[in-house]
Structure formats: structure tokens, C-alpha cells
Structure 1
Amino acid sequence: MKKIIASPAAPKAVGPYSQAVQADATLYVSGQLPIDAATGRMPDGIEEQTRQSLRNLGHILREAGYDYADVVKTTVLLQDIADFGAMNAVYAECFTKDMPARMCYQVARLPMGALVEIDAVAVK
């Protein structure tokens, strides 16, 4: 069974994709940019951008009936790998126990000039 998940609290997709897709007990959340859905703006700095990306991820997880504890895998894209430590400190605020598997790497560029983008896979 495939179900499209969309949270009005998270920013709308900026292309032809869904915020998330649930397939049976697995939820695939698209990469979340640090856009505040209420204002359409991105905060400054890697810490606040990471926090906003994770907030958006949380909104989508909750819309589907999941939470951070259900996340089994994330991918973190950074514009600059030198931001790894600062991103990691904020990331640890959401994932505090039984951490998900994760990949993190630097990319040449992210949409809308973002410093970070985070996707996730969650399982119930």
C-alpha cells in the first residue's frame, strides 16, 4: 500500500515530488530544506538551518503518525563539510537514543542556497 503524506506545517515540495510516501510500515521522507512554512524564509547559519530542517522533518513524521524515534536512516547534505560539527550538535537534540544510521556529505550546491538538507526513512 502506498500513501502520500503531506503536512501543512512543513513547506510544500519545490518540485514534482511528495513530502513523504508511506509504503506499508515504512515512511520515506524527502529531503527537507530549512524553509519556515509560515514565512517561506530560511534562517541564517548552519545551526538554525539544521534546526529548521529537523522541525520540518518532525512535522511530516507526526502527520504520518511517526516520530524521531521511528527514524532508522537519514541522509544529511551539507554545502560545506566544515559545518559538520555544528550540524551534528543540533542533530543530537532530536536523535538522543538508538540513533538512526546516517550518511553525511558535502555537495556542490543545495536548492535555494540552503546550507543543509535532511531526508529520512522511518519504520513502525
Structure 2
Amino acid sequence: MTNKMVNSTNAPAAVGPYSHSVLAGQTQYISGQLGLDPVSGEMKETVEQQAEQALINLGAILKETGMTYDNVVKTTVFLKNMSDFGKINDIYGKYFSNTLPARSCVEVCQLPKNGLFEVEAIAVKN
């Protein structure tokens, strides 16, 4: 099996030495996505705006391999403040309304670029 690096011009550039994702067979492993605007590179202001943008960025990366949110089987959400859990659930549910993937959610001390929200995912082609 050959692993293939997959990046998207419709998602912000990685903030370190890594790719947007790796396709290993039929499985896509997507690196953490922050609420960065892909054009300006600026971080959105609120946790809700960051969650929305990060999930849009995730969708752009999925699209590169012909996948959608429906292909996602597992996500991990990182929050700067666990009190934002309820706020992001409504936004998250808009993107994963048809198939609810397995999910972990953890509070972290700090995220890159002082983010408030980050999401990583695993998707599988049917």
C-alpha cells in the first residue's frame, strides 16, 4: 500500500512541517484544522466562528480525495475551554447530521496560533 500526501488549495496552509492529510489505501487521515481563513490566513475571532471555519477547511480537504463529511468515521475535537462544548455541538451537528462519527473531545492548555477550536478526522471511502 502506498501512502499519498493530500493537500488542498482551499484550506489554509499547514502551520508546521506536515501535510493536510495522508491517504493510506481507502483511509484518509486528516491533520488538525484550525479556524483559519484559507485566503487571508487570519484566525476567526469567536469559538463558533473558528469551529465553522475549521469544519469548512476539513470539508475542502475531504473533497480532494472525493470524500465528504459522510465518509468521516472518527473525529477528535480540541477545545481551549470545555465550557464551549455546547456551543460547538450545534455547529458540529450541521456538518455531521447524516452520519455521526465517533468523536473524542478534549480540553487543551493551548492550541497553535492561540486557537479556541481544532478538529482532526479519519475518513474511509466506501
Q: TM-score range by the shorter chain?
A: over 0.9
| Residue aligning to 1:7 | 8
Task: Please report how far the alpha carbon of residue 84 of structure 1 lies from its aligned counterpart in structure 2 after TM superposition.
Answer: 0.2
Superposition misfits of 4+ residues, deviation over 4 angstroms = none
Deviations 1:33-55 (A, max 9, x none): 11001011111111111000000
Percent identity over the alignment?
48
Structure 1: runs of 5 or more not aligned: none
Measure the CA separation in 1 of the matches of 2:78 and 2:99.
21
Encode CA deviations 1:9-53: one digit per residue, 9 max, x unaligned.
101111111100000000000000110010111111111110000
Superposed, which structure 2 residues align to 1:1-124 within 5 Å? 1-124=2-125
Query: Partner of 2:66: helix, strand, or coil?
Result: coil
Deviation at 1:114, TM superposition (A): 0.4
Deviation at 1:83, TM superposition (A): 0.2
TM-score normalised by structure 1 residue count = 0.98
Quote the offset at 1:98 in angstroms.
2.2
Q: What is the RMSD of the two structures over their aligned residues, measured on CA atoms?
A: 0.6
1:98, 1:13 → 2: CA distance? 27
TM-score by length of 2: 0.96
> What amino acid maps onto 2:109 in structure 1?
A
CA deviation after TM superposition for structure 1 residue 97, in Å: 1.8
Question: 5+ residue gaps in structure 2?
Answer: none
